[in-house]
Chain A
Amino acid sequence: MDGMVTGDPALLEVRDLRKWFAGPRPGPFRPRAKVHAVDGVSFDIRRGEVLSLVGESGSGKSTVGRTVLRLARPDGGSIRFGGTDITGLSRDALRPFRRRMQLVFQDPYASLNPKMTVEEIVGAPLAIHEPSTSAAERRRRVEEALSLVGLLPSHITRYPHEFSGGQRQRLGIARALILRPELLIADEPVSALDVSVQAQVVNLMLDLKERLGLTILFISHDLAVVGHISDRIAVMYLGRLVEVAPTQALFATPRHPYTEALLSAVPIPDPTVRRERIVLVGDVPSPLNPPSGCRFRTRCRYALPACAEAPPALREVAPGHFKACIRDDIALASPTSVAA
């Protein structure tokens, strides 16, 4: 997919990424089935940009994040980071790249070791990537990272249980930032938080992006949060991208029927807004045995017989707006146009 980036070189270029997992055996002595968790995903992230990957459970969005970090080995395609192909690099060769991309996890309760102090937790990446750091230097860097995320330097001797959920997520972000990474991959970083606290963390991430010039891959199922934080949004369904667009364009003029349905399913916190809702029938099909052609066609109200023939390519239908759907003759509803 050439031409996805115009102008600046991309920090991250993902091309035709594939990741399979071993599924159940269909019968005795038969080879295991393959689960196509990610099946040909291509996208770029420019420097200083927030790109969100949205999709429902099982769409493969988290697997994309893990594969980009090389926490999972890709089964096909390529990942270029800062111009270097890191797809096949060995563990040792990967190390200098790993420090330039860091991960923030979903669950702030499970991702912090309860037996470690804040200094040990936040300073852990230093111990791995800069083992020669002196104790005094480490303390200074940890304090700096804490103040960056709105915590106090005096918190350094405390343990995770002394913090609230929102503060714990700040600790997770401080840990990710201590090495000054260029790319932050945040996998559902606010999903476990209460709404009032979720807003604090979203604001913090936007601040950090501005102040540090961070590039963020934001993985989430929450379209309202994604709409607030992203520059561009990529929508995934069953291991494939179905639509990629700048945030405003995606919400104002969704081009893929799945995006349309997804947007219409999100409840809007205003009882005076009444919308026509597209209720999708049934569940997401099993990734063990995905539908032929367009994977969304079994739940799509616009499906034609031709949709079953071949997987639709992701093609540019408006500047920067890509969709994988063969139907160009349909007008789709948007949440912003109805509410206006």
Chain B
Amino acid sequence: MPDLPMPLDTRPALLAEDEVLSVRDLSIAFHTPAGALPAVRDVSFTLRRGETLALVGESGSGKSVTSLGILRLTPRAPFCRITGQVLLRGHDGRVRDLVSLPEDEMRDVRGRDAAMVFQEPMTSLNPVHRVGDQVAEAIRFHEGLGRRAALTKAAELLELVGIPDPRRRLSSYPHEMSGGMRQRVMIAMALSCEPQLLIADEPTTALDVTIQAQILDLLRRLQERTRMAVIFITHNLGVVAEIADRVMVMYSGRVVEQAPVRPLFGAPLMPYTRGLLRSVPRLDMAGRERERLQAIPGAVPDPLAPPPGCSFAPRCGHFEPGLCDAAVPGLDLARPEHLVRCVRWPELARNAA
């Protein structure tokens, strides 16, 4: 893709008043010895202030790559190619397209306008630096505070995320903290410059359930306070039901369904979403009837050799030859705010009703 520098400020403001992020036709492809690997294809969504969008999918669905691509944390060209638009409203109210933003301006965006929390709190903190200095780093970089002032602010942040005795904890090293504590530190770092957008990539997956409950609680309280928009990436449908306003289900690099959380769980339209919901063992049903879980047969397709047409077709119970494998189905607006990528959805919805 030719890199055309465009004077961004002359474009009309492309985001509605309360929108923070708009992703349009985002595609991300990696170059591999076996050819171009399309990891993410034509992903579009918008996010309003204070809203939580859950990105759901199994390994290889492209959910993490989408989030890395938004912040351009994927490898640089020519190893990885990003196309489309990622419009983000910055702290100064300006809307920038992150896909075409020069790298030095991108550095200004990361950590300030948009921040990220990763899955593994052990590997994402630097083991040889004190926690306080790591939290203070972003504050010093983006807000130009001195070390002392930044550390004071870091202590306030640690207190905000519920770390006891924050002043003393500033001089701890990551290995002296538990997994839940380290994830709190990661969240403190991400929040240090009050970002408009927080991307949390499986932030509770490595944690025990009781600690997960603490972290989800914390994120909810912080979001109420700062009104930041959150993209929450997870494969845990229980967590989704609990925290999301809207849900986007990805399969094999594409969005296959997007809807507000209640209709998505209550009346899912895409057979893959239905299959996922039925395959999860539910705690509130435990021990009642020993029904078999309804597993989805087969496995996720090889991204280098995707099946023709709908990529879920080989595992789908509603597969119709000649129809489902003819072409990749478009994303239909089935109901207000409810998008689905399945050619048979009207039929299936009628049968389900």
Q: Which residues of A contact B (CB under 8 A)?
A: 56-57, 164-167, 194-200, 202-203, 206, 221, 223-228, 246-252, 261-273, 277, 279-280, 283-284, 335-336, 338-340
Contacts and interface: CB of A to CB of B under 8 A. Distances in A.
A196 B262 contact: no
Given A272-B262, A283-B178, A194 B284 contact: no
B143 interface: no
A269 B238 CA distance: 4
A199 B294 contact: yes
A266 B283 contact: yes
Given A196-B275, A199-B295, A269 B240 contact: yes
B209 A56 contact: yes
A248 B214 contact: no
A203 B279 CA distance: 10
Interface stretch (B95-103, B222-230, B285-293, B327-335): B285-293
Contacts, number: 160
Contacts of A264: 213
A265 B209 contact: yes
A266 B282 CA distance: 10
A58 B178 CA distance: 11
Given A228-B286, A335-B284, A199 B279 contact: yes
B265 interface: yes
Given A199-B296, A265-B210, A284-B208, 9 more contacts: A197-B299, A200-B297, A225-B281, A228-B281, A249-B287, A267-B241, A268-B284, A339-B284, A340-B284
B326 interface: no
B208 A199 contact: no
Given A202-B281, A263-B283, A279-B217, A194 B235 contact: yes
Contacts of B214: 279-280
Contacts of A225: 281
Contacts of A271: 241-242, 244, 261-262, 265-266
Interface of B: 58-59, 178-181, 208-214, 216-217, 235-242, 244, 261-262, 265-266, 275-277, 279-288, 290, 292-297, 299-300
Closest 4 CB pairs between A and B? A227-B286, A267-B238, A339-B284, A248-B287
A124 to B, nearest CB: 25
Contact of A267 (B236, B276, B281): B236
Nearest to A281: B214
Given A224-B280, A250-B287, A267 B242 contact: yes
Contact of A199 (B242, B244, B293): B293
Contact of A195 (B235, B244, B299): B235
Contacts of B300: 164, 194
Contact of A251 (B235, B237, B287): B287
B212 to A, nearest CB: 7
Contact of B283 (A195, A197, A248, A251): A251
Contacts of A228: 281, 286, 290, 293
A268 B283 contact: yes
Contacts of A248: 286-288
B249 to A, nearest CB: 12
A273 B235 CA distance: 19
B237 A269 contact: yes
A196 B237 CA distance: 12
Contact of A268 (B181, B238, B296): B238
Contacts of A340: 284
Contact of B280 (A195, A277, A279, A339): A195
Given A167-B299, A224-B283, A280-B214, A267 B265 contact: no
21 contacts: A56-B210, A167-B299, A194-B235, A199-B280, A223-B283, A223-B286, A224-B280, A226-B286, A251-B286, A264-B213, A265-B213, A266-B238, A269-B237, A270-B241, A270-B284, A271-B262, A272-B265, A280-B214, A284-B208, A336-B288, A340-B284
Given A166-B299, A223-B283, A247-B287, A269 B265 contact: yes
A332 to B, nearest CB: 15
B175 to A, nearest CB: 13
A248 B288 CA distance: 6
Contacts of B235: 194-195
Contacts of B285: 227, 336
Contact of A194 (B59, B209, B238, B294): B59
Nearest to A263: B283
A177 B213 CA distance: 37
B292 A206 contact: yes
Nearest to B293: A199
Given A268-B238, A269-B265, A56 B208 contact: yes
A248 B289 CA distance: 9
Nearest to A163: B299
B241 A227 contact: no
A270 B247 CA distance: 13
